Amino acid sequence: MSNREILNQARTEVLAGRDRQAVFAAYRAQVKKPQQLATVIASVAAPDRRRHWQIPNWILVVLLGIGAASKAVVLFQSLSGGGLALGLMIAGLGILVPLACAVEVARFNGAIYGLLAFLCALNLWLVLSEERGNDVATAVDVGFIVVVLVLSQIIKARVFPSLGLTGARRDAAGQFML
């Protein structure tokens, strides 16, 4: 099996309810990077935490959908003067990232929440560095991005406590926390 197939199989087994440590032990020798396997296993939400955080997670999905729609409208309006086809293509590309993130958030994929933090920080930097004549629009954009950032990081911390900034965390003994 390829590395990707092994990681997918490990994820499937954890989703099916198999013990995380047993899955890690079974596949550790077969993967190139045990850190990657540990991160995949730690990125699966425990069923009780998934149930408890389902509603806030769906709120985050809706917010990402609203962000994608908003980005599409803004991109289409700003680029439609250069041609309708070009405006539609750029708007379509502009919504792919937020929609892809929304799909992974809906799946409760723990790895996406760290990427969301990076994307939100990047968007904050872009909004704040842009010269705008409208302070209200800037405040609305910043507020929206901050809500997505805070909600995503709260969910990450509560649902995926063993995920750190760069993947699965290690305990004091150096073992992966799964």
Average pLDDT value for residue range 111-117: 90
Which residue has tokens 């439609």?
80
116 versus 127: which is more confidently predicted? 116
- Specify the pLDDT at position 145: 92
Q: Packing angle between helix 3-15 and helix 20-27, nearest 10 degrees? A: 160
Name the 3-class secondary structure at 169.
Answer: coil
Above 90 in pLDDT, residue 17?
A: no
pLDDT band at 116 (very low <50, low <70, confident <90, very high): very high
Q: Residue 44, Cβ neighbours under 10 Å: how many? A: 23
- Specify the pLDDT at position 32: 84
pLDDT band at 91 (very low <50, low <70, confident <90, very high): low
Name every residue whose Cβ is closer than 8 Å to that of residue 36 and which is 6 or more positions away in sequence.
Answer: 3, 7, 167
User: Each residue of 62-75: pLDDT tens digit?
Assistant: 999 998 888 777 77
Average pLDDT value for residue range 105-133: 87
Which residue has tokens 């990402």?
64
pLDDT band at 27 (very low <50, low <70, confident <90, very high): confident
What is the chain's mean pLDDT, rounded? 85
pLDDT band at 81 (very low <50, low <70, confident <90, very high): low
Rounded to an integer, what distance in angstroms lies between the CA atom of residue 69 and that of residue 61? Answer: 12
End-to-end CA distance of the chain: 23
Give me the half-sphere count of Cα atoms (radius 13 Å) on the Cβ side of residue 41.
Answer: 26
Rounded to an integer, what distance in angstroms lies between the CA atom of residue 33 and that of residue 76? Answer: 43
Rounded to an integer, what distance in angstroms lies between the CA atom of residue 93 and that of residue 78? Answer: 14
Above 80 in pLDDT, residue 140?
A: yes
The DSSP bridge partners found for residue 130 are: none
User: Each residue of 36-71: pLDDT tens digit?
Assistant: 888 889 988 988 999 999 999 999 999 999 988 887
Above 70 in pLDDT, residue 86?
A: no
- Specify the pLDDT at position 90: 66
Query: Domain residue spans in the chain?
Result: 1-43+161-178, 48-159
2 DSSP assignment: -
Rounded to an integer, what distance in angstroms lies between the CA atom of residue 61 and that of residue 101? Answer: 8
Name the 3-class secondary structure at 176.
Answer: strand
85 versus 158: which is more confidently predicted? 158
